[in-house]
Structure 1
Amino acid sequence: MTAPVSNAFEEAASKPSKSKPKYPPPLSLRLTPNERERLERDAGQLTLSAYIRLCLFGDSVPKHRTRGTKVIKDHEALALVLHHFMHSNIANNLNQLAKATHMGTLPIDDETTSCLREACTEVVQIRAVLVQALGQSGRRK
């Protein structure tokens, strides 16, 4: 190897790597099902971690980054949508349509157009149910 190339490798190897901040290991606590249920109920919209910190340290603890509050608003609606997805071939059918479109072999006649419109309507309905179940507004940001 020539000297400039060797030097370049040495420089690259000697650069400090970006290290992630070290966090202490997590604390584990075993609870009975009743104790956990009570904690979750008392926490309300807070995560369990945030609620426990609040109980232990009060308002003096700095806010931690969280993933947010409990997201699913309607478990039954979500279960219904997932059930329909499990018993449908929608993913496979959409993949076949995309493949045929890319190959230029998708016949665009009245029947195909009608089926595509119907599929789009169903996807919009599925999206609406998912948005409702997840408690979102449905508007894109």
Structure 2
Amino acid sequence: MSKSQEARPKRRKPETKNFCLRLTDDEKRLLLERAGRVPLGTFIRNAALGEEVQSKRRASRKPAVDETALARVLAALGGSRLSSNLNQLAKAVNIGALPVTPETETEIADACAAVIAMRRDLLLALGLTGGERP
């Protein structure tokens, strides 16, 4: 080593400690939107300490995954006979054998509500609000 290298003290980054912050899904989604391309931890630290936020994140970012919402959708799909039931309904309609009763209308409305709920959960899991096309 040269004398100039020995004379310079090594600069170390300050040691950091973990800090846990509990957020709702909506709160986390809002912070991710506000952070943009800045890592969420950096964004929160800079916002809390009043420092300038600088983007160090690459342009592409994987969407946040809401594992609870995905689990609900997968459980609902796994426990349903949706494809089979829809196929049977289509067949009955095509041959004119599907009577339209209040009970049938209620069941169809319930099925539609279930599909809408699954769509909402999938959009939530993908980090979309519903206006975007997945």
Q: TM-score, normalised by structure 1?
A: 0.48
Q: Deviations over 1:68-126 (max 9, x none)?
A: 63235202210221122111111111111111112221111111011111111111111
> Is 1:122 equivalent to 2:122 in the alignment?
no
If each structure's helix is expressed as a fraction of its own residues, which one has the higher value? 1
Shift of the 95–140 alpha-carbon distance from structure 1 to 2, 3 Å rule, reads: farther
Detail structure 1 runs of 4+ shifted over 3 Å in the superposition: none
Provide the secondary structure at the position in 2 that maps to 1:101: helix
CA RMSD in angstroms comes to 2.6
Paired position in structure 2 for 1:96: 88
Q: TM-score, normalised by structure 2?
A: 0.50
Q: Give structure 2 stretches of 5+ with no counterpart.
A: 1-38, 41-58
Paired position in structure 1 for 2:129: 137
Amino acid at match of 2:118: I
Paired position in structure 1 for 2:21: none
Paired position in structure 1 for 2:70: 78
Aligned length: 79
> Is 1:109 equivalent to 2:101 in the alignment?
yes
Paired position in structure 2 for 1:69: 61
Instruction: Give the Cα separation in 2 of the matches to 1:76 and 1:99.
Output: 35
Instruction: Give the Cα separation in 1 of the matches to 2:64 and 2:87.
Output: 28
Q: Percent identity among equivalent residues?
A: 39
